[in-house]
Amino acid sequence: MNDAEDIPLLPPESGEVGLVEPHDFVHPASFTCESGQVLPGFTLRYETYGRLNATRDNAVVICHALSGDHHCAGIHALTDPKPGWWNNFIGPGKAVDTNRFFVLCVNVLGGCQGSSGPSSLDPRTGRPFGLTFPFVTIRDMVRAQKLLCDHLGLASLQAVIGGSMGGMQVLQWGLEYPAFVRRLIPMATTARESAQAIAFNEVGRQAIMQDPDWNHGDYPRGGGPRVGLAVARMMAHITYLSDASMDLKFGRRRKAAANNPAYTFDVQFEVESYLRHQGESFINRFDANSYLYITRALDHFDLTAAYGSLEQAFAAVEAETLSVAFASDWLFPPEQNREIVLALLRAGKRASYAELATNLGHDSFLLESEELYALVRSFLGSPSSP
């Protein structure tokens, strides 16, 4: 029986999708990556919300960012401390309405939350792949997701939606499978990473690789370069915020135990405590080698170089596009999002641009925003609209 038909319809109480569980798609055939390296097969972990309609064309794919995963809505157990990472956005009556859409979110190839990645066991050796795992690109991630869509029997996609690295995947979906996708919603993203973004990624990678416990990528599950990975996360998280949001949230407030004038390197300020917490929580759920692989995939994403120009890159796109930027995003600033729309328009495509005036930085697409919800709800229209 098709996996999509096995998933029970949960009661849409309080606008929540409720209890959900992940599923695994196992692709047994070999998969050749853009690098020319070959996986002997792969697994993708995914979750779905809502019900697939009779014509199998009401699906919406959600693409996650670097540190995200397949669990974007609902809860796995009543004891979960918090729901999926985009729970405010997905559910009955929400911007992505699961009363109308069948929503699919996949942990990317190269990830570490159930999909095949460097921490997965290589069936040829019985040991983790480590650095023998093939280099993956954004295009490889999308090609793998399309194989899952075929497995689920999806006739077409109503939309593909994502922010940051998720937005890169959204664009790649439109290029790679133009007749399959009707709407694209890339948010807080770019058509190619800037030198500054690559530089931040490299600092994070060096923090990991200079940790002696990295051991050239060969470390036990639950071990490895925990200090290096925590530092990489702390540094990256700063780029997801803005100066205004950090000042509003923390200012120069000190921790209660640090009100004395002692000159030490213990935590003195609330912002230090916050960043250390981000680093410590990240190392308990993310694999260091996956961080290396995924950030390198981000670095190599460059539609202009791949196609000669953005206009040529978008020549095959058939979907209508809504690009959403956030004024305080300095990682992928508004001008990089506008560039996408202008190139689409020059290529004769249907595209629109919205810039939201938030002070919350790059992560604004993840936070509560009635303005964003209204934009997306309007753009999606109804499942039957052209």
Q: How far is residue 165's CA from residue 62's CA, in Å, rounded to a whole number?
A: 11
Would you call 362 a catalytic residue per the annotation?
yes
Q: Which of the residues 97, 211, 362, 369 is marked catalytic?
A: 362
Q: How far is residue 351's CA from residue 20's CA, in Å, rounded to a whole number?
A: 34
Q: Which of the residues 290, 329, 363, 369 is marked catalytic?
A: 329
Q: How far is residue 227's CA from residue 269's CA, in Å, rounded to a whole number?
A: 20
Helix (H) / strand (E) element for 103: namely: strand 102-106
- Which of 194-203 are b and which e, b meaning 16 or more Cβ less than 10 Å from the residue's Cβ? eeebbebbee
366, burial (CB in 10 Å: exposed 0-12, middle 13-18, buried 19+):
buried
Q: How far is residue 174's CA from residue 184's CA, in Å, rounded to a whole number?
A: 7
Give the residue from 169, 129, 144 showing the smallest Cα distance to 32. 144
Q: How far is residue 181's CA from residue 164's CA, in Å, rounded to a whole number?
A: 19
User: Residue 90 in contact with residue 57, Cβ under 8 Å?
Assistant: no
Q: Which residues contact 334 (CB under 8 A, 6 or more apart)?
A: 325, 326, 327, 355
Q: Which of the residues 115, 119, 164, 328 is marked catalytic?
A: 164
The radius of gyration of the chain from alpha carbons, rounded to an integer in Å, stands at 21
Q: How far is residue 79's CA from residue 226's CA, in Å, rounded to a whole number?
A: 27
Q: Find the farthest-apart pair of alpha carbons in the chain and give their distance in angstroms, rounded.
A: 68
Task: Please provide the distance, in angstroms rounded to a whole number, between the alpha carbons at the two ends of the chain.
Answer: 30
Cite the active site residues: 164, 329, 362
